Structure 1
Amino acid sequence: MRIMVPATTTNLGAGFDVFGLALDLFNEVFFSFDTDRTIIESTGKYAPDLENHDLFFEVFEFFEKKTGYRVPPVRISQVCNIPISSGLGSSAAVIVSALHIANVGTKANLSQWDLMKLAAEIEGHPDNVVPAFVGGLVVCYQDGENFDFEKFELDFELTFLVPSFSLCTNTMRKVLPRQVLFEDAVFNIKNSCQFLAKIASGKLNEAFKYVGDRLHQNYRINGNEKMKEFVEAILSKKPGYWFVSGSGPSVCTDLEDFEGIPYLKEVLKLKVNNRGLIISE
């Protein structure tokens, strides 16, 4: 069987842990159960950047613990088309892939909704994994056992500047403060609400005026010298909008001039993927 899991970008500035967007770039995963031991291999553009396949095994173990089903030995071949540890959902793609494989292999027949809840529990927040399942722009909600989302379909292309260095999501979350200023919280509420209002009204170009953030981006940027230098160079070109993709280090912006930006490895122009996870025999 084959599954294709899209890359994702999250937060979109002000929508910290709430907004997520699926992109038209996929990891392909082929799997079969004709083996007596689990074998995982990775190929593709970004496979050399992958340190190990531990996350697959962690997800299988989590699935077994939550459902009581034992995941059988499986042969997995992953084609890595999503940059690793770059804020474009490479880990979320593995989580979604592994949960689907576990569900098929055990014949647990969990619904997509149940799989999304498990994925959000593994990830710690739903904004990466939900759009990987359903596509489009999702507005997520998770509070303990309470989980919900709404999806918007968009026709839009975004530009991502991917640097040559990577950042660990867990490390970047540790630099975030436990408390924020009242005015900063209000600033993000206003921006995220206005962003969503413009999306709902079909005014996509206007929506991206409201990706300004004061809750997480500055802490992440200042927490890494290369990231700080990278973003400062982008800002010196006065973009119309910009935001850190996920926990970084990739940055989404409307710039067309990339000359002189340090550490810049590649520029990805990606359309919104409204389909989400693709499953084929």
Structure 2
Amino acid sequence: MSFSVRVPASSANLGPGFDILAIAVGLYLEVDAEPAEGEPVVLEGPDLRGGGDLVLDGLRRVASAVGRPCPGCRLRVRSDIPVARGLGSSAAALVAGMLVGNRLLGDPLDRAALLRLACEAEGHGDNVAAALYGGVALAVPTATGWLYRPLKLARPLRAVVFVPEQTALTREARAVVPESVPRADAVANAARCALLVLALVEGHFEHLAEAMDDRLHQPYRARIFPYLPHLIAAAREAGAYGACLSGAGPSVLALAEPAAAEAVRIALQNAASEHGVAGTALDLPVEADGARVLTATRQ
């Protein structure tokens, strides 16, 4: 029985939620899987700059976790998630591979177990939690493992994302973030992270501009993405509740009510052009459902 899985993109941090918060957005990676018992895994699809390898990695991690051989299959991967842009393309590929492997092996692992495996592979849980569960995800490392909690939006928001043509590697964006920050900045970030969670779940979206004002990583990453403060300001002026760097960059995320989303998209596009940054601004839905099996049909 063949089937497909679909996994959304995700934007992590949301400003101060460094490595613990992410939101799933409406761009997708899909994998069509056809079982092929006794055969090796065959992967077809575009060059995803490691994404295909991560699909296979996810599949193999599930097989290893349940102590079974990697199932033979033919996989076709397609994706509209821009790679190396801070939109969770690697997390989507990893989660897709895990879902495929889990289904091929008879679904021995529940979502919580899949999340633990994905967090172990990624080293942090923000993108994989949002990719797996959808919506706004809080993923916190604890002494006993990863704690995931969904944050239910009080009312609808649109994710307006400017995606530069230039790419960026997460390891390079992490390298500019210092190992320690001034105590005042740490306190400010803790306060804003708490405010961000409350604003999202209680509907006080008017606080998002302040809540998404990060001091832990964005000021340092703005050195390699100098257009960041200008795009954040343009998004706010156009009616966005708040804006931030998307993940490790270089994309910029703005959160807006549906009626304001088009104005925010145009403002981001114009601001980027004014500062010589080529790219495309997208008005995207927040993906509420997360990763799922799309079809299951007998061949």
Common fold: TM-score over 0.5:
yes
Alignment of 1:110-121 (within 5 A): 110-121=109-120
Counterparts in 2 of 1:261 and 1:185: CA distance versus 1, 3 Å: same
Counterparts in 2 of 1:236 and 1:188: CA distance versus 1, 3 Å: closer
For these two proteins, the number of residue pairs brought into alignment is 273
Counterparts in 2 of 1:49 and 1:262: CA distance versus 1, 3 Å: farther
Give, in angstroms, the shift of residue 178 of structure 1.
1.5
1:169 aligns with 2:170: yes
Give, in angstroms, the shift of residue 171 of structure 1.
2.6
1:239 maps to what in 2?
A: 236
Q: State the secondary structure of the residue aligned to 1:53.
A: helix
Give, in angstroms, the shift of residue 261 of structure 1.
3.5
Task: Supply the RMSD in Å over aligned alpha carbons.
Answer: 2.2
1:98 aligns with 2:100: no
Counterparts in 2 of 1:107 and 1:237: CA distance versus 1, 3 Å: closer
**How far apart, in 1, do the equivalents of 2:64 and 2:78 lie?**
28
Alignment of 1:70-149 (within 5 A): 70-107=69-106, 109-149=108-148
Q: State the secondary structure of the residue aligned to 1:16.
A: strand
Counterparts in 2 of 1:184 and 1:277: CA distance versus 1, 3 Å: same
2:182 maps to what in 1?
A: 181
Q: Which amino acid aligns with 2:31?
A: V
**How far apart, in 1, do the equivalents of 2:50 and 2:112 lie?**
30
* TM-score normalised over the length of structure 1: 0.88
**How far apart, in 2, do the equivalents of 1:49 and 1:179 lie?**
34
Give, in angstroms, the shift of residue 236 of structure 1.
6.6
1:28 maps to what in 2?
A: 30
Q: State the secondary structure of the residue aligned to 2:236.
A: coil
CA contact (8 A) 2:9 2:26 kept: yes
Q: Alignment identity in percent?
A: 27
**How far apart, in 1, do the equivalents of 2:133 and 2:52 lie?**
24
**How far apart, in 2, do the equivalents of 1:119 and 1:208 lie?**
31
2:215 maps to what in 1?
A: 214
* TM-score normalised over the length of structure 2: 0.83
2:42 maps to what in 1?
A: 39
1:273 maps to what in 2?
A: 287
CA contact (8 A) 2:40 2:72 kept: yes
1:56 maps to what in 2?
A: 55
Task: Give 5+ residue unaligned stretches, structure 1.
Answer: none
Could you list the per-position Cα deviations for residues 212-257 of structure 1 after superposition, in whole angstroms to 9, with x for gaps in the alignment? 11111222232x3xx22x3254257473532110111100136442
Large movers: runs of 4+ above 6 Å: none
